Amino acid sequence: MINQVISRQRTHENITVDDAASEDASDDELSDDDADSYTAVKPTVNDDGSDDEYDGEITVGTFDGTGSWDSFWWHFCNAAEYHSWSQIDKCARLVAALEGDAALALKVCGKNATFAELSDYLVRTYDGEVQRQQACDELRCYRQRPDESLTGLAIGIRSRAQKGYPQLTEAERDTALGLPTFIHSINNRDLRFYLQLQKPSTLDEALAKARWIEWVLESNGPTSPIRHIRVLC
């Protein structure tokens, strides 16, 4: 559909000024019979002087990925319904409204993407409620990547907890969500076991003790790490 939009734009670009002028002139010329039968349609005027219908076009503005997606999308859908835009019209206007990082959606979806495909991608990427649910799902199954440090693991968990549960305070998120998720997300079984023995009460405390246990395990290597850790615990 994006290709159809581009094709339509190119078709309009090929019309010359002379062609447009001749078309306007032909539209302005009416035969005598047409002039007699032609009646101008005037908007209904209320007692207070206002019209029943809005003759202008509702503007939707632009979206660059940093502003409020909910606000932009509400205005866009409202304008599309009011003006009875077709699927091609909606696709063309949505493409024209995208700027900055949001315009990358055109590259991701491809030139043959329909309005439904393009809008679905934007909703999944920028809609607040969708992002919140995605963050909740990621937090429930979050695991430490092979190349991810303990600090990076804590940052990733804290970020997803903040997006998924904005109604909670930072202390509540760290204690109820961040701490247990951090412990169970650690790949190293020995480190995870010794960290549970430490019984940390906050995410920051768990991170500090996990880094310390990691250093002890790496320093001692295979030589009785359990004895060293238990003594320190």
- Asked which of 86, 107, 126 is the last residue of a domain, the reply is 126
pLDDT at 125 over 90: no
What is the pLDDT, as a whole number, of residue 218?
Answer: 87
Residues 157 and 117 in one domain: no
Same domain, 195 and 136: yes
Two tokens, residue 61: 């503005």
Q: Where does the pLDDT of residue 39 fall: very low under 50, low under 70, confident under 90, or very high at 90 and above?
A: very low
Q: Which tops the pLDDT comparison, 109 or 15?
A: 109
Please say which residue of 126, 145, 165 terminates a domain: 126
Residue 144 has pLDDT above 80, yes or no: yes
Q: Is residue 101 part of a domain?
A: yes
Q: For 174-221, how does the pLDDT look when each residue is reduced to its tens digit (9 = 90+)?
A: 999 999 999 999 999 999 999 999 999 999 999 999 999 999 888 876
Q: What is the pLDDT of residue 2?
A: 58
* Residue 111 pLDDT: 80
What is the count of structural domains for the chain?
2
Among candidate residues 126, 150, 165, the one where a domain is terminated: 126
| 108 lies in the same domain as 148 | no
Same domain, 137 and 225: yes
Residues 226 and 152 in one domain: yes
pLDDT at 10 over 60: no
Q: Would you say the C-alpha torsion 117, 118, 119, 124 has a positive or negative sign?
A: positive
Structure tokens at 106: 């055109």
The predicted model gives 134-157 an average pLDDT of 91
pLDDT for 187: 94
- The pTM of the full predicted model, rounded to 2 decimals, is 0.48
For residues 83 and 170, membership in a common domain is answered with no
In this structure, the answer to whether residues 186 and 103 fall within a common structural domain is: no
**Quick one: 159 and 120 in the same domain?**
no
| pLDDT number for residue 37 | 40
Q: Which domain holds residue 226?
A: 130-232
In this structure, the answer to whether residues 122 and 151 fall within a common structural domain is no
DSSP result, 179-226: HHHHHHH-S-HHHHHHHHHH--SSHHHHHHHHHHHHHHHHHHTTS-HH
How many angstroms separate the CA atoms of 214 and 160, rounded? 24
Residue 11 lies in a domain: no
The torsion of the CA quartet 67, 69, 75, 80, rounded to 10 degrees, works out to: 130
Span of 83-87, 94-98, 105-109 with lowest mean pLDDT: 105-109
Residue 177 belongs to some domain of the structure = yes
Same domain as 206, residue 158: yes
Same domain for 197 and 173: yes
